[in-house]
Amino acid sequence: MYFDLYFPFPIPEPDETQNKKAKKGKGKAAVPAAETAFIAASKDCWTGLESKERNGIARRAALLGHLGYSVVGCTINPGEPSNQVHPSPFQTSLPFPDIDPRKWSAASASTPAASSASSSSSSSSKHVASTSQAGSNGGKPPLVQVTRYHMRLDDSRVHPLTGANTNALRNYDILSVSPTSDKAFQLACTDMSNPGPNQISIITLPLHEKPFTFRFNRKQMKQAQRNGVVFELLYSAALFPSLNLSPETAKRYRQNFLSNAREVVRITGGKGVIFSSGPGVNENGFRGPLDLVNLGTMIGMPSNLAKEAVSDAPRAVLLRAQSRRTFKAVMSTPKIVPPPSISAAEQPPVEIQAQNDTTPTAANTTEDTHVKIADDTAADVEMAQPNKSPQLQSQSQRQPHSPKKRSAEIEGATTSIKKKNKKNKGSS
C-alpha cells in the first residue's frame, strides 16, 4: 500500500450573489463566523468549481490510482497565513466516494442482507459484501481519500492552531505546516509538534524554490520526530517543473532540491521522511512509488527507508493523526460491536440478566479468599523445600505427618545426639 498525502484540492470561490447582497445591506449586522462556517460545510466539495477544474482533479486522481497509490490526501491550502481556519468542504462527502473502500463497507452494512446476521449465514454475508464492493466502483481501483489542512508559517507567528479553532480543525484528518524562516521552523518543531488536539503531523519543506536562508537544526528536528512529526519532500515541482519556466530556472530548481534533500537525509538518517507530489504540477509530474524509492536512494537514503517513505511512514502519520482527536493523544473512544452470531432479538434484557445473576455474599467472598490464601501459602512452601527423591516424595504424600508425631521425632533426635556427646566425652 502506497501513499501520496499531498493531493491539492482547489478552494471554491465565494458566491458573487452573496457579495452583492452584502454590499446592498450596509446597515445590517455582519453574519457570524460560526454561521458562515456552517453554510460552507453544508455545501458539497464540488460547489463553486468550474468544469475544467473538476476534470483536472478527476484526471490526476485516476493517474495516481493507475500508478499504484492506494491512499491520497485531499489537501486544502489557503495560501496566505491567517488565524482563521477554512471550513472543511469534505464534511458531507468525499470527492470520489464511489472508489473509497470505506464507503463500500458502509453501503454493505446498510443493506438488509448484511444487517440481518441471524437469518443469513456468514458465507452469504461475505458474498454480499464482495459483490457490493465489486459493483459499487464499476471495476475501478480502490483509492482511499483522507483530508488535510496545509498552512504556511512566517515570522509573524500568525497561525490558526489555537483553541478557538479546535472544532474546525477536527474535521481534517491531517494538519501540516510549511515554514519559511528560521523562527517559523523552530515554532513548528517545538510548540506545534507537542501532543494535543491541534498537533501537526507533517512539516513540508519546499526545497526547490531557493537555497534555504536558515540552517536545519538537528536538535529541533529530532524533537519533532520524537513527537511523531515527519518531514515531507515535494518532488514534482522540483524535478518536473512547469513548461512555462525557463530552462535555467528549471535547472536551478533541480539543483536546489537535490542538495537540500541530501542535507535533510544526512540530519535525519533517512528516518521520518516521506515523499509527496505537491501543488502546481500537471499530470506529467507524477511518478510511481518505485520511482520515488529510486529517488530516495539517489539522495542518500537506504533502500529500506526509501521504501518506507512511501509506505510505512505515511501510514504511521495517519495512525498518529487519529489520536489527535482524543484528549492529548492518550485516550480513545471505544466502539462496542456485538458478535455476528448473536442478534439483538436473542439477547436477553439487561434487567433479566441482573435478576438471574447470583451476587456473592460477604461470607462466601471471605471464605473464597481464605481458601485462595491457604492454597497460595501451600504452593510457596512446596517451592521452598529442597528437591527430594521420588520415593521420599511418594511416602510423604501417602503418610502426612501430624504435629504430635513430628514433635516426638524431634525429641528422639535430640536425645540421641546428647547420648553420642556423652559417649565421646567419656572416651576422651
Domain ranges of the chain: 3-12+35-108+129-329
Rounded Cα distance between 410 and 19, Å, is: 106
Match 531557493 to its residue by C-alpha cell: 210
CA dihedral 349, 353, 354, 357 (to 10 degrees): 180
* pLDDT given for residue 117 in this prediction: 38
Go through 359-393 and write b for each residue having 16 or more CB atoms within 10 A of its CB, e for each that does not: eeeeeeeeeeeeeeeeeeeeeeeeeeeeeeeeeee
User: Residue 39 to residues 33, 92, 170, 171: CA-CA distances in angstroms?
Assistant: 10, 12, 17, 15
Give pLDDT, residue 115. Answer: 41
Short-list 119, 150, 118, 107, CA closest to 11: 150
Residue for grid cell 478557538:
164
Residue type, 95: P
pLDDT at res. 401: 54
* Residues lower than pLDDT 70 in the chain: 13-43, 104-140, 156, 210-213, 327-334, 342-406, 425-428
Burial state string for 230-259 with b = 16 or more CB within 10 A and e = fewer than 16: bbbbbbbbbbbbeeeeeeeebebbeebbbe
pLDDT at 91: 87
pLDDT of res. 424: 72
d(CA 378, CA 125) in angstroms, rounded, equals 54
Nearest by Cα to 208 from 283, 305, 279 = 279
> 206 and 281 in contact (C-beta within 8 Å)?
no
Strand order in the sheet with 144-153: 3-8, 71-76, 144-153, 174-179, 202-205, 230-234, 273-276
How many other C-beta atoms are found inside a 10 Å radius of the C-beta of residue 291?
14
pLDDT at 332: 62
**CATH code for residues 3-12+35-108+129-329:** 3.20.20.140
Work out the burial of residue 351: count CB atoms within 10 Å of its CB; fewer than 13 is exposed, 13-18 middle, 19 or more buried.
exposed
The C-alpha cell at 123 is 458465507
Strands 144-153, 230-234: pairing kind: unpaired
Q: Which residue has the cell 523445600?
A: 385
Sign for the CA dihedral angle at 410, 411, 415, 416 comes to: negative
Phi and psi at residue 279, to the nearest 5°: -90, 170
pLDDT computed for residue 28 by the predictor: 46
Res 39: pLDDT = 44
Reduced to 3 states (helix: H, G, I; strand: E, B; else coil), residue 146 is strand
The number of angstroms, rounded, from the C-alpha of 24 to the middle of its chain's C-alpha atoms is 48
Chain position carrying cell 464492493 = 133
